Structure 1
Amino acid sequence: MKRQGLEGKAVKALTIAGVMSGTSADGVDVAICRISPALRKGGAPRVKVLGHRSFAYDAKLRTAVLAAMDAKQTSAAELTRLSWRLGAVYAECVAVTARELKLKPQLIACHGQTVYHQGTAAPYLGQPVRCTWQIGEPSLIAERLRVPVVSDFRPADMAAGGQGAPLVPMLDFCLFRHAAKNRLLLNLGGIANVTALPAGCSVDEVLAFDTGPANMIVDACMKQLYGRRFDKDGAVGARGKVFDSVVATLMKASYFSAPPPKSCGREEYGEAFVTRFLGLCEREGARKQDVIATATAFTAETILDAYQRFCLPHLGQKAHATEMFAAGGGTRNATLMRKLREGFAALGVRVATTEEEGLATEAKEAAAFALMGWLTWHGLSGNVPSATGAERPVILGRISLA
């Protein structure tokens, strides 16, 4: 894997804590990994997850994070305070993980909490602007733990013409590429994203993009209708009736037919979308459990549609030899996973989770940013331009020294 780097920079193995808090805003995942150089020239770095922990946001912090994401209006003071509070939370999560696993990270790679992401350009003050913002003060993490921190990964890709997402395909390529099989990697966080790896592909042949919402719509509806954070085990969705007319109406949105590269977030599938979705369900006479069932079915349909529109043509003639590995919180929704397994089985694709390949589903995104932190520390580019749309490979992130 030939990537841009800094001449003369010694590349060595490091123990790195990757820290991820996603668009579901449910908490923090920490994965402590050993990242090592490739065994051969042109090969991919080696990633070994040594252990991981997950931490839920407390109710007040989650409310503040969600309010910042969906805010029509807020203050600089509120966002600044939240960023520093999150920095302290991330530091504590890494400290607890390191203590419990009896491991000492040499570097921390912290994604931060996305409060706004606009992957495509829109007019602002007379000029087209694309932008992204992840908060969680890295200098506070570095000072409290006395370990260097790599953060702010997405802006460099956007500055190079990319959408700043998805970034996880670099890990997918390093861990899951197979010489003889096509592989799909599906992440089910707040947003769903997929990586398509043709058999024996190079990094330039990776296709990856956000397919649409994953847990985000179900979680929002569960909160409004049941006062719960999520549909545990998919139990509510399993009891309801799916209103196919609602799913069909939502699938007409231009995002789903737009070709990659593309990314989305709470800006597209936040409060306004949920209000529209609930309105469509109400007009059909849906009960509460029917709303959750329909939201779950909609999520599955967006993923299946994305595979058939974009991944299948990309994988080419060997598409029959394709297997999918899912990760993220959505894998715990048995109803969603059943719909995906049934839908993909009809297309000749076997669906499993990353656990089958030795990677805990909750650890994947955190491990991805551990890898990106390792690449940044060594002056190596970490984006996949074929996934993000960037004009070139670039070094991602900023370093805060202890």
Structure 2
Amino acid sequence: MTNPKEMIVAGIMSGTSADGVDVALCRIRLSNSDTPHIKLIGAREFRYPKAVRSAVLAAMDAKSISVAEMSRLHWRLGEIYAEAVEVTAQEHGLKLDLIGSHGQTIYHQGVASKYLGRPTRCTWQIGEASVIAEKLRTPVVSDFRPADLAAQGQGAPLVPMLDYVLFRSEKVSRILQNLGGIANMTAMPAGASFEDVLAFDSGPSNIVIDGCMRRLFQKSFDRNGAVARRGRILRSVIEQLLRDPYYAAPPPKSCGREQFGEAFLNRLLDLCHRSKARKEDVIATTTALTAESILNAYRKFVWPHLGQKAPMAKSIEYVVAGGGARNSTLMQMLREGLEPMGVRVRSTDDLGVPTQAKEAVAFALLAWLTWNNLPGNVPTATGAARPVILGKVTRA
């Protein structure tokens, strides 16, 4: 490996929940152990303006949308990302060397289906990188997922590279759980090698809870899980929804609004209506669905992996990040399911990374790797045939 220089890198993340933009400023260099050393300097959250969020959500779930509308949204998001990074860098008085922009996922299909006579997989993240590079006069790495898909991977999850670099432990087995729009987890046995990393999307998280809150309460999300706490969990509804083949499919696997968007939401609400559910019951049930799908994935896929790879591990830690970490009702459900199995539940805050900043830090790292011609995917997580260099570089 060459000796990459230390760089100040901004990571930008806007997730499946489409609620806004997270920016993380990181100092990244090569450590003595030949792995990246990451220091988080600062992080900031920016909410999408209401009209922008509505446009993003409409584009995600659209059966069809005009080319003009999509092009305008692509450029408008580039402006929003540039402004968010500029504000954050100015607050910390930093001159950036590089920016990594995940973009806003509009469509993600990690499993091939037939299109125009050929099996096709695809992904699309928008937010014009040239706008960011020009406004900040800084090179930008963007469009991270296609290279992994081209190498026969699913293009997701990509955060496991950060999990391995930052949270791997010699003595403790760790599950890094992101509770964003989609719930995804990275399992690393104690003393894990790169090939021991298991990661996958377990199913929906905030996208279903938030969707029901918008439909029933005209609110963006269930603050602190307060509405779910007042409701009754409809176990029969959860049992029917958990029959979806996605949950039983083995990793590697990834999902998004394509599986758990408006059509799924309509089905869930119809099942709840048949059960004569109150509005609060619907939110309690969607929250419990997230918890149950995660717990089932842990029992079915993660626990056997940890036991096989690190049978003598002293302890298991379940480390949570993402917006769902602020939902105390969801967190209580996860603790009640995991702690009797001897799993300690923590947040990334305990390990030095704010829960909302983790994915933005991940894309700062992935940008740094790309800039230095180093692979960024974890093939055991995505199913790719080989490690590949991710993203496209736009120079200022």
Structure-2-length-normalised TM-score: 0.98
Counterpart secondary structure, 2:38: strand
Describe the superposition over 1:223-258 as per-residue Cα deviations: whole angstroms up to 9, x where unpaired: 000000000010000000000001111111110110
Q: Hey, what does 1:79 align to over in structure 2? A: 70
Residue 41 of structure 2 corresponds to residue 21 of structure 1? no
Q: Hey, what does 1:361 align to over in structure 2? A: 355
Q: Distance in 1 between matches of 2:206 and 2:314?
A: 28
What does residue range 244-323 of structure 1 map to in structure 2 within 5 Å?
244-316=235-307, 317-318=311-312, 321-323=315-317
Q: Distance in 1 between matches of 2:314 and 2:182?
A: 27
Name which of 85, 106, 113 aligns with 1:115. 106
Q: Distance in 2 between matches of 1:325 and 1:318?
A: 20
Describe the superposition over 1:8-61 as per-residue Cα deviations: whole angstroms up to 9, x where unpaired: x54111110000000000000000001111312xx4211111000000001000
Q: Distance in 2 between matches of 1:10 and 1:36?
A: 9
Contact 1:320 1:349 in 2 (8 A): no
Amino acid at match of 2:333: K
Residue 29 of structure 2 corresponds to residue 36 of structure 1? yes
Q: Hey, what does 1:236 align to over in structure 2? A: 227
Q: Distance in 2 between matches of 1:93 and 1:288?
A: 36
1:351 Cα deviation (Å)?
Answer: 0.6
Describe the superposition over 1:59-104 as per-residue Cα deviations: whole angstroms up to 9, x where unpaired: 0000000000000011111111100000000000000000112222
Counterpart secondary structure, 2:41: strand
Contact 1:320 1:348 in 2 (8 A): no
1:170 Cα deviation (Å)?
Answer: 0.3
Structure-1-length-normalised TM-score: 0.97
Q: Hey, what does 2:161 align to over in structure 1? A: 170
Q: Distance in 1 between matches of 2:371 and 2:218?
A: 43
Contact 2:171 2:314 in 1 (8 A): no
Contact 1:240 1:293 in 2 (8 A): yes
Contact 2:103 2:125 in 1 (8 A): yes
Contact 1:312 1:319 in 2 (8 A): no
Counterpart secondary structure, 1:103: coil
> In the superposition, relative to structure 1, how do residues 121 and 315 fare at CA in structure 2: closer, same or farther (>3 Å)?
same
Q: Distance in 2 between matches of 1:155 and 1:318?
A: 38
Amino acid at match of 1:220: G
Percent identical residues: 60
Name which of 211, 222, 230 aligns with 1:220. 211
Q: 5+ unaligned residues in a row in structure 2: which ranges?
A: none
Q: Distance in 1 between matches of 2:275 and 2:312?
A: 42
1:394 Cα deviation (Å)?
Answer: 0.2
Describe the superposition over 1:152-205 as per-residue Cα deviations: whole angstroms up to 9, x where unpaired: 000000000000000000000001000011000000000000000011111111
Amino acid at match of 2:202: T
Describe the superposition over 1:235-287 as per-residue Cα deviations: whole angstroms up to 9, x where unpaired: 00000000000111111111011000000000000000000000000101100
Q: Distance in 2 between matches of 1:247 and 1:272?
A: 16
Contact 1:19 1:110 in 2 (8 A): yes
Name which of 118, 125, 135 aligns with 2:116. 125
Q: Hey, what does 2:388 align to over in structure 1? A: 394
1:347 Cα deviation (Å)?
Answer: 1.4
Q: Distance in 2 between matches of 1:90 and 1:272?
A: 30
Contact 1:87 1:141 in 2 (8 A): yes
Q: Distance in 2 between matches of 1:266 and 1:28?
A: 18
What does residue range 130-209 of structure 1 map to in structure 2 within 5 Å?
130-209=121-200
Contact 1:122 1:129 in 2 (8 A): yes
Counterpart secondary structure, 1:346: helix
Describe the superposition over 1:331-371 as per-residue Cα deviations: whole angstroms up to 9, x where unpaired: 11110000001110121101110001111001100000000
Q: Hey, what does 2:46 align to over in structure 1? A: 55
Q: Hey, what does 2:5 align to over in structure 1? A: 12
Q: Distance in 2 between matches of 1:105 and 1:305?
A: 42
